Amino acid sequence: YSVMMSARQGPIYMVYDAGLQEAQLDHDVEMPPPGAVTVPTGPAADPVALEKAADTLAAANRVAIIADFAARPPHGWNHVVELAETLGASVWDVGSRLNFPSDHPLNLTADFDGCYDGVDVVLTLDIADFEKPTHVRDISTRTVVSKVQANATWIDIGFTDIEISKWSMDYARPYYAQQRMTADPVTTAPQLTKLLKERIAKTSGLREKIAKRTEEIGKRHRENRAKWSKQAQEHWDQKPMTVPRLALEVWETIKGEDWVLTTGDLGSWGKKLWNFDRPYCHAGRELGTGTQIGLSLGVALANKGTGRLVVDLQPDGDLMFDAGSLWIAAKYKIPMLIVMFNNRAYYNDWNHQIVLAKTRGTDPSRAHIGMDLYDPDPDFAGLAKSMGWYSEGPFENADDLKPALKRAIEQVKQGKPALIDAVCDRRNHG
């Protein structure tokens, strides 16, 4: 338990031989004393290194914060928000945990140019891959271009150097930060904020400088939200519905509830259009590889009995790999709402095949082979019903979606799992 719960937290899988399980206990097992501490405090940053980081950040022209696992416990969210507001820094939330409010004026996630324009200091908080949130990629040529200026100073606080994995794809290229601290951002962020506030109070003109860039970033944030809202209105009556329309229909239905989104958010349209304003309302980004339904069941089980509405925006291809998991929710009466993100395709691969075909001059009309999920169309509503769920669909017309969602939510409030199958166009995927 101590290893599992120590920062950075992770699962423990314990295996006992059958003989040990069957053996009778032949002696008393002494339990820890009641006052024993079961989980140690998180590692703190070196004080000298932290002072240096505060000096660098206070002297910066503009700062960007990149957060990945920085807000694992709920209070970590508050620390990231306070640090960003103290600095007037743009924030990119990588999303392995929900680190920052989606509609906060300093949030410039998904806006490479806005987030990193003029940035001369980048502060990373427990990130595993520094390239993905800072580089634009061309999937046809497998090349990436950094959006952070080459002479920027990088400050890293986290567990990158002590989290070893046998899976090489857990890592990007080596991360050469000029200042690095192996420390828990949950404990380090408030310490850094305190040091920065001391410097701001003593440095003439710094408070005004921070206020100015805060205003500039906030303006860019509002422009982004307005742009995304306008984009979501495009092709409004299209059938099958667009992905942004699906995101809006779900949001308009659940926004008055105490809701929790399990993992995926419709290729970032959830973060662009919804208001993620509480630390518990999103468990973190999707992982792919058929894992979303399992992760979602875990989130729903953890929230059982809280009165919260747990929502899974479930990709169809992902569910095809573990459809039997639906039975578990019905068997153990785990209330949750699944809204299918059904584009009748393994579209991540399909889109890649289209890009490659165009690059190579081959026929893109054949890109669907081995990638489509139609003829026959999987009946996810029928599948869910056979597993003991309330279900409706498929719906290609978004006008029919909201009434169905409301009916499904009433079932969830009675303690049942419910699934609504929404069929989407592929053009607005992500």
* pLDDT of 167 above 80: no
Which pLDDT does position 171 carry in this prediction? 60
Summarised one tens digit per residue, pLDDT across range 34-81 is 888 888 888 999 999 999 999 999 999 999 999 999 998 889 999 999
Summarised one tens digit per residue, pLDDT across range 301-322 is 999 999 999 999 999 999 999 9
Summarised one tens digit per residue, pLDDT across range 201-230 is 999 999 999 999 999 999 999 999 999 999
Mean pLDDT computed over 342-359:
83
Summarised one tens digit per residue, pLDDT across range 224-279 is 999 999 999 999 999 999 999 999 999 999 999 999 999 999 989 999 999 999 99
Domain ranges of the chain: 47-220, 234-423
Q: Do domains 47-220 and 234-423 have the same CATH topology?
A: yes
Question: Which of 22-31, 297-306, 391-400 shows the lowest mean pLDDT across its residues?
Answer: 22-31
**47-220 CATH fold:** Rossmann fold (3.40.50)
The CATH number of the structural domain formed by 234-423 is: 3.40.50.970
Q: What average pLDDT is seen over the chain?
A: 93
Percent of the chain past pLDDT 90, that is, above it, reads 76
Which pLDDT does position 297 carry in this prediction? 97
Report the C-alpha gap between 208 and 261 in whole angstroms: 38
Find out whether 391 and 420 touch, Cβ atoms under 8 Å. Answer: yes
Which pLDDT does position 430 carry in this prediction? 41
